[in-house]
Amino acid sequence: MTMTVRDFRATDAEAVAAARRSAFPFLVTTPRTVVWTSESAPVEQHYRLLVAEADGQVVGSSEVGVFHDSDEPGLAFANTTVSAEARGRGAGSALVTAAEEYLSGLGTAKIFAWALDEASSVTFAERRGYRRGRCSRVQRLDLTAAALPPLSAGGLPDGLPDGLPDGVELRTAADFADDPRPLYEADVECTADEPGDVDTAAPPYAEWLALTWEHPALDRELTSVAVVDGTVAAYSVAHTDSRGRYWSGMTGTLRAFRGRGLAKLTKNDSLHRARSAGCREAFTGNDGDNGPMLAVNKWFGYEPAATEWRYVRELSA
């Protein structure tokens, strides 16, 4: 068997997407998102998509780059995926070695990488000198069988009135097509409060438009927004893949509006829209320390699907 690692080509998109879906079936991944991510990454990120080719067939890939928006210099990422049927043949080792060599050449001090909480992945990471960091809980909701709260109840916690509270209006991201800046401002505030292991600065508006608003998986019609007295107060982002899969890109409530059930309100509306649009499975991922969102998803009936660990290796060590 001949194993080679090379840079991604657009003709690899279908194979890369298939390998990712094989390894991480809960993610929204399509050939279009693979190509788009490779072509739209900021120059400062030094992004590369490496692919492993075994006997002429692409069996895995590694997304590599630096956290260009971090205040701490020298932080990078290398997320490697190998299709389930090709594991144990050296593709993962070849990809990670190439990724580390590239990042080392950029002066990287630390590399962050995601790994599933399964014996083979954990052993692979730890043997290469990576240490375990934060975890992410991936959860699944069967939209064909889920008993979603009725829209008339707004998906609000017990004890709150049925219907929309006074002054609250439900919209979709599509309603902000002419001016998405209010969504940008809400996203900046909510993202800043997300727990994580890499602190990043808010992206400039132009970068947010390019990387978030124009993301090919973003479904603006299924992304719900709660507006309170004319101000964006909460939102639930929907990513879809036209294969019946829905991923919650982010659910957030601005600080001034928390404690009113608006996260449940927007997520319930988005899930109803998704089911009506033909989505069959809903997935979401939360940091293990994000108790409020873990509780919200449990309330909706999400069940554990997978656990991922963020591993880090210090190249100077």
Residues 150 and 287 in one domain: yes
Are 173 and 288 in the same domain?
yes
Note the pLDDT tens digit of each residue in 166-224: 789 999 999 999 999 999 999 999 999 988 888 899 999 999 999 999 999 999 999 99
**Model pTM greater than 0.85?**
yes
CA angle 282, 286, 290 (to 5 degrees): 140
Q: Is the pLDDT of residue 93 over 80?
A: yes
Per the CB < 8 A criterion, the answer to whether 240 and 28 are in contact is: yes
| CA distances from residue 50 to 4, 27, 57, 157, 261 in whole angstroms, order as listed | 10, 19, 14, 46, 43
The rounded distance, in Å, linking the Cα atoms of 185 and 209 is 12
Whether residue 129 is contained in a domain is answered as no
Express each pLDDT in 112-125 by its tens digit: 999 999 999 999 99
Do residues 251 and 263 touch, judged by C-beta distance below 8 A? yes
Residue with tokens 């090919």: 216
- Which is nearest to 64 in space by CA: 42, 48, 45? 48
pLDDT digits (tens, 9 = 90+) for 15-69: 999 999 999 989 899 999 999 999 999 999 999 999 999 988 999 999 999 999 9
Structural domains in the chain (count)? 2
Cα–Cα distance, 99 to 54 (Å, whole number): 17
Residue 162 lies in a domain: yes
pLDDT at 113: 97
Q: Is residue 291 part of a domain?
A: yes
Whether residues 155 and 27 share a domain: the answer is: no
What is the tens place of the pLDDT at every residue in 145-182?
999 988 764 445 444 445 677 789 999 999 999 999 99
